[in-house]
Structure 1
Amino acid sequence: MDHAEARADLAAAFRWTAREDMHEGVANHFSLAVNDAGTEFLINPKIHFSRMKASDLWVLDAKNPDSAKGKDAPDQTAWGLHGSLHRHVPHARCAMHVHSTYATVLASLTESRLPAIDQNSAMFHNRQVIDDGYGGLALEDEGTRCAQMFQDPSVRTMIMGNHGVLFIGETVAETFMRMYYFERAARNYILALQTGQPLRVLPDDVAERTAQQLDEDHGADVDLLRGIRDVLDHDAPDYVE
């Protein structure tokens, strides 16, 4: 199988996203560039996240819309959002878009920024962008507009107002870890808001120091994905097929 390890990593990410209830069945998409230019990428067809296998993933060409056509092809928003990212954002080797519950609640608030109220949320301090310009489904024009908001390489998390959340990274492990921790941090934040008590927000210097320390924790993302694959190897080994 071509790109076998990359396919297995991505399939594991789909399976675990379903286990964490961050999925929408056959909607939402993860993609991973497989050529040096970043314009050819793996992406999911219309198969439930919980049943995704490595061999199910399609290879699309961001310069060829016909590559996104066929039986069970990824839907129009997959091409619109992910095709645009892989055309316009070279450092977006991997992209993951979900409508996970707590991130989407956050995206529905007038103030959608995730503040640094704990160690997990500090990971995103000065590293997130808010999209306040939701214009409908992520077709090509909307996808291009979103891609333009990722031109700063230090920003790899987009809170998509009235929509959901989008993450980019160099690898499946890096991008998945960012998505995983953002949803958990957003959950803590929403629950903290529900208490009605004042928030203990970290000072900017402490939040930035913590974010840098987490940035420098090389290997944490690989460890997380390896742990997930170890569980799947035992419980659901068909994900690598």
Structure 2
Amino acid sequence: MSPVATTTVTQIKPPTATLSLRGDSEKPKENAHKTDLAKNPFERVWRGNREGTIRMGGVPKFDDPYEERKWIKEHMAGAFRYWGKLGFGEGTAGHITVRDPVLKDHYWMNPFGMHFSMIKASDLVLVSPDGFVTEHGAQLPINEAGYVIHHTLHKLRPDVVAAAHCHSIHAKTWSAFGRPIDIMQQDACLFHDNLSVYENYGGIVLSDQEGKNIADALGPKNMCVIMQNHGLLTLGRTVDECVYLFALLEKTCQQQLLAEAAEANGLKKRIISPEDAAYTAENNGYWETMYNNFTPEFELLKKETNGEFLQ
């Protein structure tokens, strides 16, 4: 049993922007924020034809929960293949869970000790609310720490469908600082007012209390957390959103490490203003847009594997 950590949560406030003027007479540039926007943020990021017959597809809706279950498992398997492709494997560490649309208090999870790059939809395990493998999925063991973290998150965050955690290299490196990332590039704006830091490390997670500590650090709305000395955890309204956010935050941790090294050698980084970061997050960070951001990777994986992971 791991020692119980005392929860310390960093409430991340948007950083104050610094503006470097090239001359005393030069005034700060006013933001060119468009205000007459479509009500649905997803409708703001793409454009079709004048007649409205060319449209982007959003998250599909299902009348049959068993068809939705099949779709979820296929996208989960694609998410794991994506992690494998990015080199996120670290022994038996790492797990993604997604709520089941049929048995709504159950969730799907990867089997213990199977490489991400090998996982197929039929390899996924359906876990009961009390953490045991059920007869409805693959008959394989699951990761104990994964159960402890995820069952607490699914209980305390009913607004989310999916949760993901693994030990990617740049994330676990940056996590040693116990600091948030700086909003210094457009993609990073998706983490504006959406990222927590859990500032304790209580050993390998085998205690329900540690799972609750992580959930408390996330709070009622944040979708991402940096766990000090551990790595990242992200949430999503679909597994696609969840895994896209995870990969983006891993890349942003890499960017942060590069920027810190450059700043240590005399270069000064410039932070995006809270106003601009919030505007970008509002328009680019909508959950259905996040789903579509993973679609190119999912479709490429299908082509590269001849759809083998869908089985």
Q: TM-score, with normalisation over the residues of structure 2?
A: 0.71
For residues 7-65 of structure 1, give each alpha carbon's deviation from its aligned partner in whole angstroms, at most 9, with x where no partner exists: 01000000011111123243210000014785210000021101000010001122x23
Matched, 1:179 2:246: yes
Matched, 1:7 2:63: no
SS in 2 for 1:59: strand
Over aligned residues, Cα RMSD in angstroms?
A: 2.2
Partner of 1:240: 310
Partner of 2:281: 211
Partner of 1:109: 177
Partners of 1:80 and 1:144 within 8 A in 2: no
Q: Following the alignment from structure 2 to structure 1, what is the Cα–Cα distance between the partners of residues 73 and 102?
A: 16
How do residues 110-189 of structure 1 correspond to structure 2 at under 5 angstroms? Answer: 110=178, 112-139=179-206, 140-153=208-221, 155-189=222-256
Partners of 1:61 and 1:67 within 8 A in 2: yes
- Which blocks of at least 5 consecutive residues in structure 1 are unaligned? none
Q: Letter of the aligned partner of 1:191 in structure 2?
A: L
For residues 176-219 of structure 1, give each alpha carbon's deviation from its aligned partner in whole angstroms, at most 9, with x where no partner exists: 11112111222111111111222111122222222222124x64
Q: Following the alignment from structure 1 to structure 2, what is the Cα–Cα distance between the partners of residues 230 and 81?
A: 30
Q: Letter of the aligned partner of 1:104 in structure 2?
A: K
Q: Letter of the aligned partner of 2:116 in structure 1?
A: F
Q: Displacement of 1:90 after TM fit?
A: 0.8
SS in 2 for 1:7: helix
Q: Following the alignment from structure 1 to structure 2, what is the Cα–Cα distance between the partners of residues 125 and 151?
A: 15
SS in 2 for 1:65: coil
Partners of 1:85 and 1:147 within 8 A in 2: yes
Which structure has the larger Rg over C-alpha atoms?
Answer: 2
Q: Letter of the aligned partner of 2:93 in structure 1?
A: A
SS in 1 for 2:71: helix
For residues 95-137 of structure 1, give each alpha carbon's deviation from its aligned partner in whole angstroms, at most 9, with x where no partner exists: 0002111111221114x11110101112101211110122111
Q: Letter of the aligned partner of 1:204 in structure 2?
A: P
Query: Cα distance 1:89–1:37, how it changes in 2: closer, same or farther (>3 A)?
Result: farther
Q: TM-score, with normalisation over the residues of structure 1?
A: 0.90
The structure in which a higher percent of residues are helix is: 1
Q: Following the alignment from structure 1 to structure 2, what is the Cα–Cα distance between the partners of residues 230 and 152?
A: 33
SS in 2 for 1:232: helix
Q: % of aligned pairs identical?
A: 23
Query: Cα distance 1:48–1:88, how it changes in 2: closer, same or farther (>3 A)?
Result: same
Q: Following the alignment from structure 1 to structure 2, what is the Cα–Cα distance between the partners of residues 66 and 233?
A: 31
Aligned residues: 237
Partner of 2:271: 201
Partners of 2:125 and 2:139 within 8 A in 1: no
- Which blocks of at least 5 consecutive residues in structure 2 are unaligned? 1-65
Partners of 2:199 and 2:228 within 8 A in 1: yes
